[in-house]
Amino acid sequence: MQSQADIYTLNSGDLDEEITRLNTQHVLFDDVMNNELLPPHITAELSSNPSPKICEIATGTGIWLSAIAKTLPASAELVGLDFDTTKFPPKSQLPVNVELKFNDMYEAQPEELQEKFDVVHLRFIAMASRKGQGIALVKNLLTLVKPGGWFIWGELTENIPHVQPPIDAWSRYLQLAHKFGLQQGRDVELPQALPHYLKSAGCVDVDYKVYYAMSLLYGPKGADIIKRSQNELLMAVNILVDGILAKGGVDGLRTKAEGIDIITQTKRDLRGDVKVNTNIFRCYGRKPL
Ligand SMILES: C[S@@+](CC[C@H](N)C(=O)[O-])C[C@H]1O[C@@H](n2cnc3c(N)ncnc32)[C@H](O)[C@@H]1O
């Protein structure tokens, strides 16, 4: 088995493609989540705070922090942490109150950041999750939250979107990805175990909401949601195939040729009105006072 530090799959492909994928994904998912960067009651609570402090763990390109910076006063302090700093944009492209730094979310968190933040936000780390360590991860990250502050963790449903009508390429990919996740020692209970993790780590007022991508079909953003979701899935399959191969592969995806075949089949199957339900499960809880 790979060492736990090596578990993450999505940093092994083309860097520019991954940066583009994360930034495009943010815009799509923001629409799916009704442009609610935070659960509305948390946004309302922050609005009476003259200088809110927010930390994003596993921030990637910092795209969510850059977006939320636009909604907050200039006095807000926004810190993004990630163990891969190559995806960080240059400082000149970030809002002045956003700072991005190296940090491993599984390590003890820096002294100077302890209990500093009103909100700690984490999302889309299923590929970096470790079996049996969900509660320990929440406990570790809660050390950054002020008493009374919020911890938020969002993931795609069942790690992956559902496709309707079912297509062979996706069923084939899902089986490989599941086998590979088990082989890597990943937590395959996400996202449904999130409320349990937050409560067991000591959070109160724990709740969650699921946002359904295809609900957008019935509103003003409906016209291109099918195409946007298909494009996102295709970009994700590309980078996931590279990532799985870079980690030695799994039965059914051991060779470059098998990878190309999966990508070609996905492109072929994702036609017309095939709906990719990129649903998002967002769980939140408060650190007790
Ligand atoms: C799928 S990306 C999501 C990025 C960002 N949260 C977003 O929504 O755009 C997952 C991120 O987790 C980071 N990551 C994976 N394992 C990590 C770890 N142990 N500590 C910190 N960051 C980690 C990766 O480098 C990557 O940037």
* pLDDT band (50, 70, 90) for residue 162: confident
Residue whose Cα lies nearest atom 27 of ligand 1: it is 60
* Chain mean position to CA 282: 10
Which residue reads 């596993």 in tokens? 58
Give CA–CA dist 117/42, Å, rounded. 13
Supply the Cα-derived Rg of the chain in whole angstroms.
19
Least confident of 3-7, 101-105, 219-223: 3-7
Q: 251 phi and psi, to 5 degrees?
A: -55, 130
DSSP class of residue 250?
B
Provide the pLDDT for residue 158.
Answer: 63
How far apart (Å, rounded) are the C-alpha atoms in residues 149 and 71? 19
Residue nearest to atom 14 of ligand 1 (CA): 58
pLDDT at 170 over 90: no
pLDDT tens, 21-59? 999 999 999 999 999 999 999 999 999 999 999 999 999
- Domains along the chain? 4-286 (3.40.50.150)
Spatial CA neighbour of 99 closest among 88, 84, 108: 88
Alpha-helical segments (H) within the chain? 15-32, 40-46, 63-69, 134-142, 168-184, 194-200, 225-246, 256-269
Q: Which of 125, 159, 184, 235 to mutate to test the pocket of ligand 1 (most atoms within 8 A of CB)?
A: 125
Distance from the CA of 281 to the center of ligand 1, in angstroms? 17
CA of 161 to the centre of ligand 1 (A): 19
pLDDT at 273: 87
Token pair 């984490």: residue: 122
Ligand 1 pocket (Cβ < 6 Å) reads 8, 10-11, 22, 26, 58-60, 63-64, 82-84, 87, 104-106, 123-125, 128
- Mean of per-residue pLDDT scores for the chain: 93
Report the atom number in ligand 1 closest to the C-alpha of 25.
9
In Å, what is the CA distance from 216 to each residue of 34, 44, 219, 251, 278?
A: 9, 24, 5, 37, 11
Substitution candidate for ligand 1 out of 29, 78, 84 with most atoms within 8 A of CB: 84
How far, in Å, are 24, 67, 99, 242, 247 from residue 155 at the CA level? Answer: 16, 18, 24, 21, 23
- Ligand 1, atom 15: closest residue by C-alpha: 128
How remote is the CA of residue 245 from the centroid of ligand 1, in Å?
19
Amino acid 121 reads H
Report the residue among 24, 25, 54, 83 best suited for mutation to probe ligand 1: largest number of ligand atoms under 8 A from its CB. Answer: 83
Q: Is residue 233 within 8 Å of residue 278, measured between CB atoms? A: yes
Axis-axis angle for helices 256-269, 225-246 (nearest 10): 170
Report pLDDT for 157.
Answer: 81
Residue closest via CA to ligand 1's atom 12 equals: 58
pLDDT at 68: 98
pLDDT tens for each residue of 232-274: 999 989 988 998 999 999 999 999 999 999 999 999 999 888 9
Q: Are 38 and 120 in contact (CB under 8 A)?
A: no
CA 97 to centroid of ligand 1, rounded, Å: 21
**CB-CB contact of 123 with 59 (8 Å):** no
Atom of ligand 1 nearest to the CA of 104: 20
